[in-house]
Structure 1
């Protein structure tokens, strides 16, 4: 079995996205966001094929949703992955703005 890659998720304020980075700084996934009055839209999550299956997209989703909760923001999950992640994790259902 392959060893899991080490990475951390950081919020890159200037680029309006979350990045998953390896210890050497390589970006192995991103989740873009758009802030508006009281909301955070999550329109796009990307993990290159060679890094799939490492839990990277889920870690990006968790970081964005944690920050949304901490910032008392409603989430607009226009990214299919973020939307499906929320559907599988009822603890985030209260954050969603579907209107």
Structure 2
């Protein structure tokens, strides 16, 4: 199973493709260099396979590579960052 995480700016979300099928996405609102993550969804056919974690890891790696920051309003993104403190430095304080 090969995973690919890519930004889809037209839909304001990062998507994860598993074997060329859309397996999930995490939606965001762009506020300059800060992305406010609002919702994450994984297709039921791909749940409990680590797809959600791979999606968030790939998303956060991409944000870091761009020099951006995140606001994890989505509980799934927030929980992932709590469990993986190596990404805590990406969290922006945003009113």
TM-score norm. by structure 2 comes to 0.85
Runs of 4+ in 1 over 6 A off after TM superposition: none
**Displacement after TM superposition at 1:48 (Å):** 2.3
- Return the match for 1:11 from 7, 31, 47: 7
- Return the match for 1:31 from 2, 26, 42: 26
SS of the residue corresponding to residue 54 of structure 1 reads: coil
Q: Which residue of structure 2 lines up, in the alignment, with residue 21 of structure 1? A: 17
**Unaligned residue ranges in structure 2 (runs of 5+):** none
**Superposed counterparts of 1:19-98, under 5 Å:** 19-23=15-19, 25-98=20-93
Query: Equivalents in 1 of 2:87, 2:16: separation in Å?
Result: 21
**Unaligned residue ranges in structure 1 (runs of 5+):** none
Q: How many residues are aligned here?
A: 94
Larger mean CA deviation between 60-69 and 79-88 belongs to 60-69
- Whichever structure has more strand as a proportion of its residues is 2
Query: Equivalents in 1 of 2:58, 2:29: separation in Å?
Result: 15
**Displacement after TM superposition at 1:45 (Å):** 0.5
TM-score norm. by structure 1 comes to 0.82
